[in-house]
């Protein structure tokens, strides 16, 4: 996309936000839907792919699941927090620039 780190997808951003506290897959889906006011509904395959990739990159980690992978919970790492903060700054810049131009246009 031309930016230094690239933009996170909306799904990844909301998953990382959700994982500021331990959560399992279904919990993440419900939380993302709630956070976005019902607008964003994560598909199971999309969520699984994002979780696997983020684990590989060390942005999140799995907590022990007592042998039942269906109850596996995930949590954000320090690297994940950094990515989230960096994306937050990027989004803030987008909004501020949009606000400056559009509000001027409206006057």
Partner 1 sequence: MRQVIRKWFWAWEFDKEEQWLNDMAAQGKVLLSVHYATYEFEDSQPGEYAIRLEMLEKFPGSEESQQYIEFVESTGAEFVGKVMKWVYFRKKKELGDFELHGDNATRIKHLKGIMVLLLPLGALNLFCAISNLSIGIGMGSTANVLCGLLNLAVAVLLGKGWSLLNEKKKKLEKDAQLFE
Question: Where on the chain is the footprint of partner 1 (CB under 8 A)?
Answer: 9-11, 24-26, 29-30, 33, 41-49, 51, 69-72
**Separation between Cα atoms, residue 47 and residue 34, nearest integer Å:** 16
Q: Could you tell me the smallest distance in angstroms from the CB atom of residue 13 to partner 1?
A: 11
Looking at beta carbons only, is 27 or 81 nearer to partner 1?
27
Cβ 5 to partner 1 shortest distance, Å: 17
CB atoms within 10 A of CB 28: 22
Least Cα distance to 15 among 6, 27, 3, 5 occurs for: 27
As measured in angstroms, the least distance from the Cβ of 15 to partner 1 is 12
Q: Which C-beta is closer to partner 1: that of 52 or that of 100? A: 52
* Backbone region of residue 66 per phi and psi (left: phi > 0; alpha: psi in -120 to 50; beta: other values): left
């Amino acid at each position: 996309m031309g930016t230094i780190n690239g933009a996170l997808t909306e799904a990844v951003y909301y998953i990382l936000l959700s994982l500021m506290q331990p959560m399992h897959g279904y919990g993440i889906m419900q939380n993302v839907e709630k956070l976005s006011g019902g607008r964003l509904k994560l598909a199971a395959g999309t969520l699984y792919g994002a979780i696997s990739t983020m684990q590989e990159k060390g942005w999140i980690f799995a907590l022990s699941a007592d042998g039942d992978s269906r109850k596996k919970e995930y949590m954000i790492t320090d690297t994940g927090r950094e990515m989230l903060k960096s994306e937050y700054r990027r989004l803030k810049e987008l909004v501020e620039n949009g606000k400056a131009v559009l509000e001027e246009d409206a006057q």
